[in-house]
Amino acid sequence: MTTPTAGPAATTGAVTNVVLAGLGGQGVIKASDILADAALRAGLDVKKSEIHGMSQRGGSVTSDVRFGAKVLSPMVPRGEADYLVVLASSEVEVTRPLLRPGGVLLSPDLVPDADLPNKRSLNVALLGALSQYLDLPVEAMLDAVKAALPERLHAVNERAFELGRSIGARADRSRP
């Protein structure tokens, strides 16, 4: 398995901007919790922000995660996301303007449903794919996955993470 030496963040300064998007109930906020926790475990400054409240009712949800040496605003400025991770295909076009030119889009069709050990672990699978682009240690990502989920779900989500990670390794990382 290869590890990218530098993601697109290397070209935008110290802060990495990730936006996660999907529909209420898909685990968008859980995924952003995991990513933010992984950045914390890696010793970085991190902020994450989303608007929830209505999210349980099946509406659109986006969550911003920013990490680096020092993070100021908790929100990823529109058009400045380095990575856009989308869990629902219906949300891809709506959220695309959030991505900066040259940013990386990770969409749900990267991970075929049939390959997922459990449909509900798409969020963790896409985090696995994202992990190929980030400078975060993979152990920090996996520890964060485990810390966020009950023990009975660890094995299935580790498999989902590895599946995503292997897909991320094969993906063309220069452009979405």
Which chain residues interact with another protein by CB under 8 A?
Answer: 23-24, 33, 36-37, 40, 45-60, 62, 71-75, 77-78, 90-91, 94-95, 97-98
- The residue (of 74 and 102) whose beta carbon lies closer to another protein is 74
- Work out the number of other CB atoms within 10 angstroms of the CB of residue 43: 9
Q: How many other CB atoms are there within 10 angstroms of residue 119's CB atom?
A: 10
Which CB atom, from 38 or from 167, has the smaller least distance to another protein? 38
Pick 3 or 90: Cβ nearer another protein:
90
Q: How far is the CB of 102 from another protein (least distance, A)?
A: 19
CB 136 within 8 A of CB 42: yes
Lookup: tokens for 164 = 């995503």
DSSP 35-49: HHHHHHHTT-EEEEE
Separation CA 41–CA 55 (nearest Å)? 27
Q: Among positive and negative, which fits the CA dihedral 27, 158, 67, 105?
A: negative
Q: Which CB sits closer to another protein, 29 or 116?
A: 29
On the 0-12 / 13-18 / 19+ scale of CB atoms within 10 A, 150 is: exposed
For the bound state, the minimum distance from the C-beta of residue 122 to another protein, rounded and expressed in Å, comes to: 17
Nearest distance in Å: CB 28, another protein: 11
The distance of closest approach from Cβ of residue 134 to another protein in the complex, given in angstroms and rounded to an integer, is 17
**Rounded least distance, CB 80 to another protein, Å:** 8
Cα-based torsion angle of the residue sequence 143, 139, 2, 27 in order, rounded to the nearest 10 degrees: 20
Instruction: Considering the complex, state which of residue 78 and residue 170 has its C-beta at the smaller distance from another protein.
Output: 78
